[in-house]
Structure 1
Amino acid sequence: MIIMASHVQIDHASVTDNDVARQIEFTAEIDGEEVEFAVKYAVLKELSGDEPEDDAVEMFERFSDEILDVCEEVAAKRPAATVVIDESDLE
């Protein structure tokens, strides 16, 4: 299953909850290039108003359009081996 927002295509099967690092990790393709992303729980809390607990992946999926738009913007500004999205990246 592929979720698409703008030019970002996420491989849904790659979405994992790293509760130790308190982030959702996934691989996405941007303009034909694979990029690793990590979305901090603080982003999910900012978007939902609730602290992620056992439902972090569900929250990620619920707000995926907004998150993937931010991922595309941040990846363009800060190319890295893993692009980390935190609450300061939200507009």
Structure 2
Amino acid sequence: MEMIRHPDHGCVEHAPRRHIHQPAGTSSGGRRLMRAARVASANMGCSQMTADQLEIDTRSVFDNIDARQVEFEAEVDGDDYQFAVQYSVLEALTGEAPDGDAEIKFNQMIDAVKDASLAALSRDSDREIIVVSENDLDQ
């Protein structure tokens, strides 16, 4: 994993990754910890780094009507993850059950979805798809 310096404040960041899936037989959790440690040590004293930033790839947002969830890909601290937000989360946030408008509700509540997604990631980072449930709203 290549690390690059941010041009504005000099903090070390990861170069963008192109693939979500890890090669077979490798420990993605172990690599994430090693990358995080390298970036943390390179950024000692840098006040611009924010822990656990989640950036949603808006092109990946997909309303999976059959599974009653909105799926998306996001990057957190340089690593790519796949998420699924249950319709019940969107209903809890907006007060209305999604009815053909789940992506709209998702986008309206994007900040709350990001927070809940980070909570889901912190409890279940080793899953292929991280499911965001109503329990993650309380975190």
The TM-score with structure 2 as length reference comes to: 0.60
Identity of aligned residues (%): 38
Partner Cα distance (1:76, 1:49) in 2: 26
Q: CA RMSD in A?
A: 0.9
**CA displacement, residues 10-66 of structure 1 (integer Å, 9 cap, x when unaligned):** 100000000000000000000111000000000000001101011100000000101
Which segments of 5 or more consecutive residues in structure 1 lack a partner in the other structure?
1-5
Match of 2:103 among 46, 57, 66: 57
Alignment of 1:18-37 (within 5 A): 18-37=64-83
Moved over 3 A (4+): none
Report what 1:68 is aligned to: 114
Partner Cα distance (1:48, 1:36) in 2: 23
**CA displacement, residues 60-90 of structure 1 (integer Å, 9 cap, x when unaligned):** 0000101101111220221121100111221
Report what 2:129 is aligned to: 82
Report what 1:3 is aligned to: none
Q: Which has the larger radius of gyration?
A: 2
Task: Give the 3-state SS of the residue equivalent to 2:100 in structure 1.
Answer: coil
Q: Which has the higher strand share?
A: 1
Alignment of 1:7-26 (within 5 A): 7-26=53-72
Which segments of 5 or more consecutive residues in structure 2 lack a partner in the other structure?
1-51
Partner Cα distance (1:88, 1:73) in 2: 9
Task: Give the 3-state SS of the residue equivalent to 1:21 in structure 2.
Answer: coil
Amino acid at match of 1:77: R
Amino acid at match of 1:83: I
The TM-score with structure 1 as length reference comes to: 0.90
Bigger shift: residues 22-31 or 69-78: 69-78
Amino acid at match of 2:55: Q
Amino acid at match of 1:20: D
